[in-house]
Amino acid sequence: MKFFNTYKKQILRLVIIFLVLLILFTAGRKKRATPIDNALSFVVAPAQDISTTISSWVLNKVSALKDDTDLAAENSELKAKIEILEAENKRLSMYEEENKRLSALLDVSQKYPDYETTGVDIIAKDPGNWYLTFTINKGTRQGLKPDMALTDAGGLVGRITECGYLYSKVESILDSRSSVSAMSLRTGDLGVVKGDYTLMNDGLCKMEYIDSESEIMKGDEIVTSYLSGIYPSGITVGYVKEVVTDENGLTKYAVIEPAVDFKHISTLLVITDGFSDAKSGEENEN
């Protein structure tokens, strides 16, 4: 016993070396496990099982992490592509809307073939929801002058009140200073369409000085009359929303809903020439 205790480490080393050599020597030759193999399996098998489990867990985690990284990269790439497509779609929608506006303005210019026109864009407006007064991007350099009329696809917008070299200021028919000689297209009844403080906040205006015997009624189309010294005749101003008899009983007035959407205007037509010639022709005929 004393001998074993003294040489314990050396004896264990020899036993281990012997077992290893025995395993190597018998590997591939034996068909049945030896008692030594069975004894070692109690130690080796659990260790192998734990090692295999740990290896599988690590591999699964690494694979999952790689998959998450790949998915994150793919997701970022898809988001970037979606943003590009959305931006492109917005640009195409803007081009489509602009094309519709320009096509509508072309129809308007063809509606008045006797008049020369030029397209303009609004570059500034006074505060508020409605375009009462605003600024356009052309002026005297492009041949614009005060009192030239502006239209859009809906109808009459207003007139130029001031011209700079590269800009002009416009007064719309909603503005309280505006005054347009007009008539009912159905009945021929005359009146004057004016901006009104009590109506402009609702995007409406008023047609005054209508004869009490007139047959003007709700829904009638109101157009510029041949009596106007500024606006060409026959341009749609709006539609009668309501007819009211004045307190004196001698005249009526009509609340007019403009044909133009004064909350959403951008590209307009200015009638630059031809009106004075057409007006002179009418006067000569009369």
For residues 103-128, give the mean pLDDT: 79
What was the pLDDT predicted at 111?
Answer: 66
Q: What's residue 286's pLDDT?
A: 40
Quick check: 255 and 241 in contact, CB under 8 A? yes
Q: Which CATH number fits domain 115-285: 2.40.10.340, 2.40.30.40, 3.40.190.290, 3.40.228.10?
A: 2.40.10.340
Query: How many Cα atoms occupy the beta-carbon half-sphere of 167 within 13 Å?
Result: 9
Averaged over 226-240, what is the pLDDT?
91
* 20, pLDDT greater than 50: yes
pLDDT classification of 77: cutoffs 50, 70, 90? confident
Residue 280 has pLDDT above 50, yes or no: no
Residue 274's pLDDT band (cuts 50, 70, 90): low
Taking every pair of Cα atoms in the chain, the longest distance, rounded to a whole number of angstroms, is 148
Identify the residue with better confidence: 159 or 32. Answer: 159
pLDDT at 106: 67
Predicted local confidence at residue 31, as pLDDT: 54
Is the C-alpha dihedral spanning 111, 115, 120, 125 positive or negative? negative
What is the pLDDT at residue 34?
59
Give the per-residue pLDDT at 168: 97
CA–CA distance, 143 with 120 (Å, rounded to integer): 12
What percent of the chain clears pLDDT 70, i.e. is strictly above it? 67
pLDDT of 57 > 90? The answer is: no
In this predicted structure, the answer to whether residue 283 has a pLDDT above a threshold of 60 is no
* Nearest C-alpha neighbor of 270 from the set 110, 116, 153, 140: 116
Could you state, in order of their start, the residue ranges of all structural domains in the chain? 1-31, 34-111, 115-285
- Going through 61-177 in order, the beta strands assigned E by DSSP cover 116-125, 133-136, 149-151, 156-163, 168-172
Greater confidence (150 vs 102) lies with 150
- CA neighbor of 37 nearest in space, from 27, 47, 52, 50: 27
H helix or E strand, kind and range, residue 62: helix 35-111
Average of per-residue pLDDT across 242-252: 86
Half-sphere exposure of 61 (CA within 13 A, CB side): 6
C-beta neighbour count of 175 within 10 angstroms: 22
Distance CA 236, CA 34 (A): 110
3-state secondary structure of 221: strand
More confident position, 20 or 207: 207
Please tell me the distance from the alpha carbon of residue 17 to that of residue 13, in angstroms, as a whole number: 6
Summarised one tens digit per residue, pLDDT across range 154-187 is 899 999 999 999 999 999 999 999 999 999 999 9
Mean model confidence pLDDT for the chain: 80
